Amino acid sequence: MSVPDGKRWFLPKESLDALIAVLHQQQYVVIGPVFHDRAIRLEQVQRADQLARGVRDEHSGGQYRLIDGNQELLFEYVVGPDSAKKFFFPPRQELFSLHVKGEQFVIDKVGPAAPKLAILGLRPCDLAAIAVQDRVFGYHQPAGDEAPWASGFRCESELYYTQAREQSLLIAVNCVRPGGTCFCASWGNGPQVNKDMPYDLAMTEMRKGFVIRSKSRKGAAIISSLSLRDADDAEVELEGLLLQRAAEHMGRQLQTDDLPQLLDRAIDSPHWDNVAKRCLSCGNCTMVCPTCFCSTVSDSDDLATGSTTRTREWESCYTHQFSYTTSGPVRSSIRARYRHWLRHKLDTWHDQFGVSGCVGCGRCITWCPVGIDLTAEVESIRRYDSRDENHAPPRITVEARP
Amino acid sequence: MPVQTITRKTETAKPKLAVYKFSSCDGCQLSLLNLEDELLDIVGAVEIAYFLEARRAEQPPPYDIGMVEGSISTPEEAERIRQVRRDCKYLVTIGACATSGGIQALRNWADVDQYKQYVYAHPQYVASLETATPIATHVFVDFELRGCPVNARQLLELITSLLKGRKPNIPNYSLCIECKRRGLPCVMVSKGEPCLGPITQAGCGALCPGCHRACYGCFGPMEQPNMDSLGHQLTGTQKRTAREMKHMLRMFNGYLEPFKQASDHYERQEKQNA
């Protein structure tokens, strides 16, 4: 795991309000983790005392509970159901309204302007997920990337997303207490930020304050305006120890090095039938997944004004109607839909976007109503695979569009 | 296609709307009347030709759109629905009663004569069928709107889509999709509630989970619901009894497959356990 170089400062707990004030001064809408509806949610905050404090989360397959934690600590939990996705790619968005006048379409309204957000308390896996969606929505193309998607192949090119991302400020919090369904370490996506992740500031919580580092000019400007002292050697050492311990306490593990090959071979694995018996095809996993990006558009009419509004909403590859074409749904069974999702996430995502679609946040495991566990399903597929070594159909590849 | 007929009609005169009541509580008709902001627009776009709950005046059939609330539970209703079908070009059932038989379909598992003895002083005056059945059991239905009651937005969407001549945007997927779009934390995962959302059709806007409650399935089964898996989770991890499962599934849409089949399964299990 790569530890970013650079200087560490120390942000005392009582200066969190000063940090939020600086963000407000710079016209940011500040988002942070709050305790709301029995869960840690990402919502707008005005002051530091609105942030969730003294709560821990317990995660297992299909179960999420919050319990009392250390009242001195603000970030004793990991991720709730929300991720940054809902801010950059809103679950429901009116794209435009128009009406017909004579032979012409007249635009009545266009979509909302992208907000200027400072999101506080994102976890390293959330940052990894943002980096994935940056590729999906065409926000950022890492230099020197020769993958097919880099040559112009885009699933969607998304103006709102790119604007909101451009204006955003991301303040990450490293994880010192991983959850029961976390496996970010298996992907190298945590428990602390790394140099490939898109963040401005990253903090590690200690009892009296945070060891904080900056990656961008925006982040450095905020540090200097807060006039923080340098972190001392003991604090930096403690940070290292806390993060090392966290890496050793991941709730789940996943062997990630051979997944595309494994899942290509597993196209006819008997295990898909086993999962299909349990999968509800309800779509919860795709909704909470920080990288899933499927959406649908629909038109609605206003009887009074004659105006028609086009709205985009999150959709899921788990719905029967999602793959509906003139000849009917392409994936008509739950087995086919689960297989499609898992193979896309761990296998064909590489062909499409040059990275894995899974970041190891564990949300799909926690928030599956019947607790289907991605890491366990992959292990089962692996067991079937090792039993039948001759079973190796040709690799299916996705060609980039010319 | 009936849809095209309606569109053509708008060019000359306003399409005629009829709203009928069968065995029901009137709640779905009220949902239409509760569309207060849009009601004048609806009246501007369609002629309300027959809607006894809204106006006394009646215009003679034929009607372009017929909306039927309620199930068929009397011999008279079984006759009347045939005439309604003849009178309406496009027939839509609105709500759980019309679409699945509704709460009154609980009688389908019981002895109606016995019920009558309990409830009425003179049961001999009550003419009712042995069963309460959905409209589609009796006549061809063009479209079904689910829910107890129906969702007012879906009613409006249906009317506007028919007027515009496009397909109504009424999803068949799970309630979870709507629930998560609203950003609600899953009540099953975060509270251990027995939620029917993962097998129930969306459309209500996740009303109950929005009030921290489990979905009780009033929109009926979604496309391809996995009854076994949810049942296994509820009876296993959540330790719900077969009796509880039966009652949950039979509450509003018990007579609609596959809720019916699953509730019968839990009834057999309940008897075995006893």
Asked if residue A161 is part of any domain, the answer here is yes
Domains of chain B: 2-164 (3.40.50.700), 175-273 (no CATH)
Model confidence band, residue A190 (pLDDT cutoffs 50, 70, 90): confident
The closest CB to that of A300, out of B157, B172, B225, belongs to B157
Contact B16, B49 (CB under 8 A): yes
pLDDT of residue A162: 87
pLDDT of residue B5: 46
Which of A1-10, A263-272, A324-333, A379-388 is predicted least confidently? A1-10
Q: What is the pLDDT of residues A214-261, one digit of tens each?
A: 999 999 999 999 999 999 999 999 999 999 999 999 999 999 999 999
Asked if residue A397 is part of any domain, the answer here is no
**A308 vs chain B: nearest CA distance in angstroms?**
11
Pick the residue from chain A with its C-alpha nearest to B189. Answer: A63
Q: What is the pLDDT of residues A374-387, one digit of tens each?
A: 999 999 999 999 88
pLDDT of residue B274: 85
pLDDT of residue A176: 95
Asked whether residue A324 carries a pLDDT value surpassing 50, the answer given is: yes
* B180 neighbourhood in chain A, CB within 8 Å: 81, 91, 283-284, 287-288, 314
* A91 neighbourhood in chain B, CB within 8 Å: 180-183
User: Where are any strands of DSSP class E within A85-208?
Assistant: 92-101, 104-110, 117-122, 169-173, 201-205
What span, in angstroms and rounded, lies between the C-alpha atoms of A83 and A122? 8
What span, in angstroms and rounded, lies between the C-alpha atoms of B223 and A31? 37
Q: Cβ separation of A280 and B226 shorter than 8 Å?
A: yes
Q: What is the mean pLDDT of residues B253-267?
A: 96
What span, in angstroms and rounded, lies between the C-alpha atoms of A31 and A248? 30
Asked whether residue A396 carries a pLDDT value surpassing 60, the answer given is: no
Q: What is the pLDDT of residues B203-236, one digit of tens each?
A: 999 999 999 999 999 999 999 999 999 999 999 9
* A301 neighbourhood in chain B, CB within 8 Å: 160-161, 163-164
Q: Cβ separation of A304 and B163 shorter than 8 Å?
A: no
DSSP B248: H
Contact B184, B206 (CB under 8 A): yes
Q: Cβ separation of B237 and A62 shorter than 8 Å?
A: yes
Asked whether residue B2 carries a pLDDT value surpassing 50, the answer given is: no
Asked if residue A155 is part of any domain, the answer here is yes
pLDDT of residue B153: 92
Instruction: Report the residue count for chain A.
Output: 402
User: What sign does the dihedral B115-B120-B121-B126 (CA atoms) show?
Assistant: negative
B65 contacts: CB under 8 Å, gap ≥ 6: B6, B15, B16, B17, B18, B46, B88, B89, B90, B92, B159, B162
What span, in angstroms and rounded, lies between the C-alpha atoms of A247 and A128? 16
Tokens describing residue A317: 């590859």
**A124 vs chain B: nearest CA distance in angstroms?**
22
What span, in angstroms and rounded, lies between the C-alpha atoms of A398 and A70? 49
* B233 neighbourhood in chain A, CB within 8 Å: 62, 369-371
Give how many domains chain A has, as a whole number. Answer: 1
Q: What is the pLDDT of residues A287-300, one digit of tens each?
A: 999 999 999 999 99
Model confidence band, residue A46 (pLDDT cutoffs 50, 70, 90): very high
What span, in angstroms and rounded, lies between the C-alpha atoms of A308 and B133? 38
The residue range of the domain holding A226 is 9-89+112-247
Q: Cβ separation of A81 and B180 shorter than 8 Å?
A: yes
Q: What is the pLDDT of residues B34-86, one digit of tens each?
A: 998 888 889 899 999 999 999 999 999 999 999 999 999 999 999 999 999 99
Pick the residue from chain B with its C-alpha nearest to A304. Answer: B41
Q: Cβ separation of B185 and A64 shorter than 8 Å?
A: yes
* A302 neighbourhood in chain B, CB within 8 Å: 41
ipTM score for this prediction? 0.91
- Please return the burial class of A49, using the count of CB atoms within 10 Å of its CB with bins 0-12, 13-18 and 19+: exposed
pLDDT of residue A2: 37
Task: Count interface pairs A-B at CB distance under 8 A.
Answer: 141
What span, in angstroms and rounded, lies between the C-alpha atoms of A89 and A108? 23
Contact A66, A35 (CB under 8 A): yes
pLDDT of residue A4: 46
Q: What is the mean pLDDT of residues A322-343?
A: 93
| Residue A41 parent element (H or E) | strand A39-44
Model confidence band, residue B184 (pLDDT cutoffs 50, 70, 90): very high
**B52 vs chain A: nearest CA distance in angstroms?**
24
Contact A191, A176 (CB under 8 A): yes
Asked whether residue A326 carries a pLDDT value surpassing 90, the answer given is: no
The closest CB to that of B186, out of A41, A284, A318, belongs to A284
Mean pLDDT of chain A: 90
